[in-house]
Structure 1
Amino acid sequence: MPRVLSESDVADFRERLCAAAERLFAEKGPDAVTMRQLASALGVSPMTPYRYFRDKDDILAAVRTNGFNRFAEALEKARDGARSPRAKGAAVGEAYIDFAFEHPHTYKLMFDLNQPTGGDYPELVEAAGRAHETMTAWVKDLVTGGDLQGDADEIGTMYWAATHGAIVLEMSGKLPEGAARSLADRMGSTLARGLRPGA
């Protein structure tokens, strides 16, 4: 008779499976990875992963959810650790780039062009929303303090798009190593000048 799994047993296996999946997805691409390969990577029977996830898409959604939450935590910590609104913005920008290059496989999976239908994975939608909020919270600080003017959500999205674009260009070899950080900093300064009251 199979052993009854505790909640911690289930959580531990799901975490190990997601870690293996993240590595294999990064090496081979999500479409090339099978449930059998994932099971083999963990040394379990081919049917074992199905006790914890419906299918590969379910695992990929869990990996992305975990990634977005870790990303958001890093940015929230950076914002909370800075004092002034401008310092918060700078800290969040640094934390963003640090996360992307310290966890490139996670970052690429989070923003892969092939994304699941949102309604199928509410936890993923929530995690992505949390990440989006981290990209606007520090902008709201600046708008409230009178340093910037405009819609905080739209400005946050502009900063996000600019930073993400620089990171992806460097990751794909279109920019030299280290260029994303300096380019994102210059783009941020340029945006800030244009968004200051009276500019």
Structure 2
Amino acid sequence: MPRVLTESDVADFRERLCEAAERLFAGKGPEAVTMRQLAAELGVSPMTPYRYFKDKDDILAAVRTMGFDRFAEALETAYATEGDARARGAAVGEAYVTFAFEHPQTYKLMFDMYQPDEDAYPELKRAAQRARATMSDYVKALVESGHLAGDPERIGEMFWASTHGCIVLEMTGKLPPGGARKLIGEVNSAISRGLRPQA
């Protein structure tokens, strides 16, 4: 008869399984990883993961949820720094790049092409929306302070797309080490110049 698991036991195993999944998913791609491989990584029976997660997509959603929450926390902390709208915006941008390169496996999984349906995972949807909110909040402050003109949501998407693209280029070896930060600065400056209020 299997022992009764406490909430602490469940939380601990789920966390260890998510850590193992993050390593394997990032290294091989989510589609190439099986539940059996995840179980072997932790030295448990092939059926054990099913006591904690419905399937692989359920694990992937949990890994992404934790990643987006950590990412959002880093961005929120940066946004809360002292200074004007431009300084806070720069802090958010720096926090974004720092998180991506300090946690490359997490970052790759957050934005991997293999994505489960977020509507089926409310916690993942919440965490992703939390991160996205900070990526547009700092732009709202820039628009309100008169540094930029336009729709804050759309401008935030422009900065997000350029930042993400530069990071991926460096992560895949298409830019030299440190090249993403340099290019992000140049691209974002160009975007900002084009979005300044007309005199």
TM-score by length of 1: 0.96
Q: Secondary structure at the match of 1:53?
A: coil
Letter in 1 for 2:89: G
Q: In the alignment, is residue 152 of structure 1 matched against residue 113 of structure 2? A: no
Looking at structure 2, the residues matched to 151 and 102 of structure 1 have their Cα atoms a distance apart, in angstroms, of: 31
1:62 aligns with 2:62: yes
Cα distance in 1 for partners of 2:9, 2:145 equals 48
RMSD (Å) for aligned C-alpha atoms: 1.2
Aligned to 2:119: 119
Shift of residue 149, structure 1, vs aligned partner: 1.2
Q: Which amino acid aligns with 1:157?
A: E
C-alpha distance in 1 between matches for 2:32 and 2:82? 43
- Contact residue 68 and residue 131 of structure 2 kept, 8 A: yes
CA contact (8 A) 1:82 1:91 kept: no
- Indicate the residue corresponding to 2:141 in structure 1: 141
1:131 aligns with 2:131: yes
> Which runs of 5 or more structure 1 residues have no equivalent in the other structure?
none
8 Å CA contact 1:17–1:42 kept in 2: the answer is yes
State the alpha-carbon separation in 2 of the partners of residues 84 and 10 from structure 1.
44
Q: In the alignment, does 2:29 pair up with 1:29? A: yes
Superposed displacement of residue 128, structure 1: 1.1
Deviations along 1:130-187, one digit per CA (max 9) or x if unpaired, are: 1111110111111111211111111100000000010111111111111100110111
Structure 1 CA distance for aligned equivalents of residues 185 and 150 of structure 2: 20
SS in 2 for 1:27: helix
Q: Deviations over 1:87-123 (max 9, x none)?
A: 1111011111111111111111111112111221111
- Corresponding residue for 1:185? 185
Shift of the alpha carbon at 1:48?
A: 0.9
Residue identity matched to 1:70? R
Q: Tell me, what secondary structure is at the counterpart of 2:70?
A: helix
Quick check: 1:139–1:156 contact (8 Å CA) kept in 2? Answer: yes
User: Secondary structure at the residue paired with 2:138?
Assistant: helix
| Structure 2 Cα separation of the partners of residues 59 and 40 of structure 1 | 15
1:29-68, Cα deviation, whole Å (9 max, x unpaired): 1112111111111121111110100011110111111111
Aligned residue pairs, count: 199
What's the counterpart of residue 79 of structure 2?
79
2:197 aligned partner: 197
**Secondary structure of 1:63's match?**
helix
Query: How far, CA to CA, are the matches of 2:20 and 2:182 in structure 1?
Result: 33
| 2:170 matched residue in structure 1 | 170
Tell me, which stretches of 5 or more residues in structure 2 are unaligned? none
Identity %: 70
Q: Distance in 2 between matches of 1:82 and 1:14?
A: 37
TM-score in terms of structure 2 length: 0.96
